[in-house]
Amino acid sequence: MNSQSQSQSQRRKNFKIEAFKHKVELDPKYAERTWKVLEHAIHEIYNNNASRLSFEELYRSAYNMVLHKYGDKLYSGLVATMTAHLNKIAKSVESAQGGLFLEKLNHKWADHNKALQMIRDILMYMDRSYVPTSHKTPVHELGLNLWRDHIIHSPNIQARLQDTLLDLVQRERTGDVINRGLMRNITKMLMDLGSSVYQDDFEKPFLDVSASFYSGESQQFIECCDCGSYLKKAERRLNEEMERVSHYLDAKTEVKITSVVEREMIANHMQRLVHMDNSGLVNMLIDDKYDDLSRMYSLFKRVPEGLSTIRDVMTSYLRERGRVLVTDTERLKDPVEFVQCLLNEKDKHDKIISTAFNNDKTFQNALNSSFEYFINLNNRSAEFISLYLDDKLRKGLKGASEEEVEVVLDKVMMLFRYLQEKDVFEKYYKQHLAKRLLSGKTVSDDAERSMIVKLKTECGYQFTSKLEGMFTDMKTSEDTMLDFYAKQSAELGDGPTLAVQILTTGSWPTQPTAACNLPPEILTVCEKFRTYYLGTHSGRRLTWQTNMGTADIKATFGKGHKHELNVSTYQMCVLMLFNSADGLTYREIEQATEIPALDLKRCLQSLACVKGKNVLRKEPMSKDISEEDVFYFNDKFTSKFVKVKIGTVVAQKESEPEKQETRQRVEEDRKPQIEAAIVRIMKSRRVLDHNSIVAEVTKQLQSRFLPNPVVIKKRIESLIEREFLERDKADRKLYRYLA
Amino acid sequence: MRRSSNRKSSSASAAAGSGSTKAASKEFEKIDHLFNVYADKSSAIIDPEGIEQLCSSLEVDYTDVRILMLAWKMKAQKQGFFTLEEWRTGLKALRADSMSKLKKALPELVKEVSRPTDFLDFYSYAFRYCLTEDKQKCIDIESACQLLSLVLGTQFGPQVDKFTEYLKSQSEYKVMNMDQWMGFYRFCNEIPFPSLENYDSDLAWPLILDNFVEWFRENQK
């Protein structure tokens, strides 16, 4: 058994498959014959007679040739045959007339591809085995290269092809309809032949020709079109080109052709377009041409510096416009109108930016910086904004809903943010608020409080703490009055009714208190109040602010006409004098009331010289008050209203001397703030040079005002004198903190 | 032996002690003697009258800067008065114990003061010396101008002339403080005159000098 198995396994081991050593010789004649068969097949294929061929036979023939090492012959034969055919085709294409040229080319190309496909299939074995090993070009690629070399780059075809294509594009651009499908096939052909063929034979010349076309066209347009129309045309051309690419050019051409159009039509004419008389950017802004602006924005966005060009022109226009607005003396006569104007400008341009400029943040910033620039050109802006608010809060917002109120206040806050001298605004706002509160003339408490909240959010607690104090005082005063009347009603009897507002000094704007002589009836009840108040609040001091009060007086005129007059305290003092005399001279009035001259004149003017409110008669009847005038009770006074208001406690634009005074007070207030900032900075830094101190102080105070470097220097010197700081002994540019 | 030696030593020390006082008193004897020539008999201090006499002895005008220098050398506290201590300090430093020696010492003194470090000390002393009241920190502009001419007139004549002209023409500053006083000296040293080319008002120069430079440049046009 063993030996048998051994021999079996041996036999198995010995069994091997040997290589086919049997040489199947193909004699050269046979090779030549085989080649001829294939050559004939190629001819037939090119002559569209392929149906009669047997694929299998041809395949086997090619296979055999390669197998028997006749690959070279096969390959070179292929090349020769194909070349010959292509040369024939070239001649055929060349002979085509005019418009048929492209069609012929296209047709022949399609044929060639079909032929190539078949040939490749037949020669597949060669493609897979002979071609790689001998580093030859594969059949399909070979076919394309030969087409390229013998057709496309044939001397009689190359230039003509290019010219034909470009000519068609030109015609389409000038309005003709062309065969887009054909174009697409041709360009696709070029792409198939290799992207460098496409680029060299078509794309580069196409771009060059387009550039000069658009250069010429843009020059033509710009001479005869206004900016808006030009931009429309440019946009149209741009869209056209993009559409052209999508229909019959390679996708990669899009960005190249669009940048040509952008350069020629937009970038090269940017300045001229933007500055065009009567139709440029500025005119579009003025006339709210949203469409044109939107178009300009999207077109200019495509070119370098495009948006910054628009932005710069817009900024300088805004600044100039703003400057004109704030220096227009006519407009400055009405502060409320002035601020409304500014708000309107802001609204207008906000809308432009959101509608046409895509809410672009850089444009918003440009708008803000322009407003900030020109608002601060006029040093009364702060005062006027406060007066605008005063007008709104006193009567303008009457009947407005909560949302409407918020909208108005928010818009005003935007202007407020632009102010450099916020402390000036604070001073005026306090004054105007005081007048509103004391005269009870505010449209809504909620609106007032809402404004305070907004200011607090913007500027911090310190800014509004005193304002809030004013509200508290008003509330407390109400409660105090209720208590006063509850406790004192018996004693007061029939005297005049008193309503006292107790103002905490420091919270309210300081007014120099000019005492005047109150009528005896008033004096009595005032003293009773004083006693009552000091009884419950010992250690406090009360001073009557006679320049801020009001009074309601019942007056009987001739023929028994009764009226109720609402007057200021000063006016009351003057009028009550006429209970004991029909006529008084200016000096008598002055002596009796002790009202300061300027106030007295204003007071008498409002009582005697205003039509419809002249409860006093003046001799002489001149407009101004002179110290020689005599005043009489005007028996003949009439008014269709029972209640007549003659008070003069409304907030109004300050006169020039008042303005100077306020500014002086602001400057005085700034000094300690600057010093405090300097001390704070030096305390933490110990040693610092001059320029750094100035920079730090400016930074610390910028939410309130912009400090003047000269003033800062003066404060530093004052601090040196008072030995808070000293100059460094070695380096005189440095300052040192003295603990 | 010990005793004697002790005694000797003690007497020596005593001698040294008394010798020092003796020597001291001998040292200051002449100086004190000179002091008494000019001092007021009741107050034992040289008062303005005495200084006037001193000046005529020295053949120097009493407004002369050398008197100020003398005061500086004495570290005199109060303008117009010299105490004995101060007199002693000054004259000892000058190594003068007679009028003739004092006269001779004056030119040396002038030279000494002109040395930069000493001059700075002298310059600030000159200002303090004019502060007559307690807690006074400023001198009026008129006096400041005079003092400037006196103290800096020779060294920085042109600057002093222009600056005093400016001070007299303006009304914003009625007094000058130490900081401004020292600032001007620094100005003379660091800023070329009359070009003022490297003057930068953004630096830490006192405001009074900024205003002066501005005034000067305006007037140049």
* Nearest residue on chain B to A729, alpha-carbon basis: B182
Residues facing residue A726 across a β-bridge: A736
Look at residue A185 in the predicted model and tell me its pLDDT.
Answer: 94
Chain B residues with beta carbon closer than 8 angstroms to that of A727? 179, 204
What interface predicted TM-score (ipTM) does this complex get? 0.73
A424: closest CA of chain B, how far (Å): 26
Q: Which of B137, B186, B207 sits opposite A713 (nearest CB)?
A: B207
Q: Is the dihedral of CA A137, A141, A143, A148 positive or negative?
A: negative
Name residues 702-721 of chain A within 8 A of B (Cβ): 709-710, 713-714, 717, 720-721
A717 neighbourhood in chain B, CB within 8 Å: 179-180, 206-207
Rounded to whole angstroms, how far apart are CA atoms A284 and B19? 107
What count of Cα atoms within 13 Å lies in the side-chain half-sphere of residue A364?
Answer: 9
Taking only the tens place, the pLDDT of each residue in B60-95 is 888 888 888 888 888 888 888 888 888 888 888 888
B204:A721 CB<8 A: no
Q: Specify which residues A633 forms β-bridges with.
A: A616
Residue A608 has pLDDT above 50, yes or no: yes
Q: Which amino acid is at A578?
A: F
Which residues in chain B touch residue A729, judged by CB atoms under 8 angstroms apart? none
Beta strand extents in chain B (DSSP E only): 138-140, 175-177
Sign of CA dihedral A56, A57, A62, A68: positive
- List the single residue in B179, B186, B203 with the smallest CB-CB distance to A721: B179
Q: Confirm if A345 and A321 have CB atoms less than 8 A apart.
A: yes
Which pLDDT tens digit goes with each residue over A206-237? Answer: 999 999 999 999 999 999 999 999 999 999 99
Residue A272 has pLDDT above 80, yes or no: yes
pLDDT tens column, A577-600:
988 888 889 999 999 988 888 888
Q: Which of B114, B179, B204 is nearest to B152 (CA)?
A: B114
* Alpha-carbon span A211 to A203, nearest angstrom: 12
Interchain proximity A732–B204, CB inside 8 Å: yes
Quick one: DSSP state of residue A267? G
Chain-chain contact of B202 with A690 (C-beta, under 8 angstroms): yes
| Residue A129 confidence (pLDDT) above 80 | yes
pLDDT in tens, A34-69: 889 899 989 988 888 888 888 888 998 889 888 888
* Range among A18-32, A107-121, B94-108 rated most confident: A107-121
B137 contacts in A (CB within 8 Å)? 721
Q: What is the radius of gyration, based on Cα positions, of chain A?
A: 49
Q: How confident is the model over A509-534, as a mean pLDDT?
A: 84
How many beta carbons lie within 10 A of that of residue B1, not counting itself? Answer: 6
Which of A386-395, A694-703, B191-200 bottoms out in mean pLDDT, i.e. has the lowest?
B191-200
Note if the bond before B107 is cis, omega within 30 degrees. Answer: no
Residue type for A388, please?
Y
B-facing residues of A in 280-319 (CB < 8 A) are none
Q: Least CA distance to A726: which residue of chain B? A: B179
Mutate to test the interface with B, among A678, A715, A727 (most CBs of B within 10 A): A727
Q: Which residues of A touch B210 (CB under 8 A)?
A: 710, 713
Q: In what order do the strands lie in the sheet with A616-619?
A: A583-585, A630-633, A616-619
Query: Which strands, in side-by-side order, build the sheet including A550-556?
Result: A550-556, A562-568, A643-645
CB A429 within 8 A of CB A386: yes
State the Cα–Cα distance between residues A581 and A589, nearest whole angstrom. Answer: 11
Residue A4 reports pLDDT greater than 70: no
Question: CA A245, CA A152: separation in Å to the nearest integer?
Answer: 22
Contact B185, B179 (CB under 8 A): no
For residue range A293-336, what is the model confidence (pLDDT) as tens digits?
A: 999 999 999 999 999 999 999 999 999 999 999 998 888 889 99
Tokens of A335: 């502060």
How many cross-chain Cβ pairs, A to B, lie less than 8 Å apart? 29
Alpha helices for chain B (secondary structure H): 2-38, 48-58, 65-74, 84-94, 99-114, 116-129, 141-152, 157-169, 178-190, 207-220
Determine the pLDDT at residue A626. 85
Pairing of strands A583-585, A616-619: unpaired
pLDDT digits (tens, 9 = 90+) for A333-361: 899 999 999 999 999 999 999 999 999 99
If you search the block for the tokens 């032929």, which residue do you land on?
A: A115
Q: What are the helix (H) ranges across A20-174?
A: 28-46, 55-67, 71-95, 100-122, 124-125, 131-133, 139-147, 155-173
Whether residue A586 lies within 8 A of chain B, CB to CB, comes out as no
Q: How close A714 comes to chain B (CA, Å)?
A: 6
Eight-class DSSP state of A496 = P
User: Do A508 and A514 touch, CB atoms closer than 8 A?
Assistant: no
Query: Confidence band (pLDDT; 50, 70, 90) for A11?
Result: low
Q: Does B204 touch chain A (CB under 8 A)?
A: yes
Looking at the DSSP assignment, which residues form a beta bridge with residue A688?
Answer: A735
Q: Supply angle C-alpha A36, A41, A43, rounded to 5.
A: 95
Task: Give chain A's length.
Answer: 739
Return the pLDDT at A616: 87
Higher per-residue confidence, A397 vs B26:
A397
Stretch B44-69: mean pLDDT, rounded?
Answer: 87
Per the prediction, chain A carries an average pLDDT of 89
The B residues from 110 to 169 touching A (CB cutoff 8 Å) are: 137
- The confidence band for A614, taking pLDDT boundaries of 50, 70 and 90, is confident
pLDDT at residue A465 above 50? yes
B186 contacts A735? CB cut-off 8 A = no
Written as six digits, the tokens of A532 are 């009552």
Pick the range with the lowest mean pLDDT from A10-14, A248-252, A558-562.
A10-14
What sign does the CA torsion over B129, B131, B134, B138 have? negative
Give the confidence band of B118 by pLDDT, cuts at 50, 70, 90: confident
